[in-house]
Chains A and B, each alone.
Chain A
Amino acid sequence: IAGITQAPTSQILAAGRRMTLRCTQDMRHNAMYWYRQDLGLGLRLIHYSNTAGTTGKGEVPDGYSVSRANTDDFPLTLASAVPSQTSVYFCASSVDSVRDTQYFGPGTRLTVL
Chain B
Amino acid sequence: QQQVKQSPQSLIVQKGGISIINCAYENTAFDYFPWYQQFPGKGPALLIAIRPDVSEKKEGRFTISFNKSAKQFSLHIMDSQPGDSATYFCAASKTGTASKLTFGTGTRLQVTL
Chain A interfacial positions (CB closer than 8 Å to B): 4, 31, 33, 40-45, 48, 50, 56, 58, 90, 92, 94, 96-107
Contacts and interface: CB of A to CB of B under 8 A. Distances in A.
Interface string B28-56: 00001010100001111110010000000
B101 interface: yes
B32 to A, nearest CB: 5
Interface size class of B (residues with CB under 8 A): 20 to 34
Interface stretch (B57-65, B73-81, B102-110): B102-110
A100 B101 contact: yes
A43 B38 CA distance: 11
B99 A42 contact: no
B85 interface: no
Nearest to B100: A45
B83 interface: no
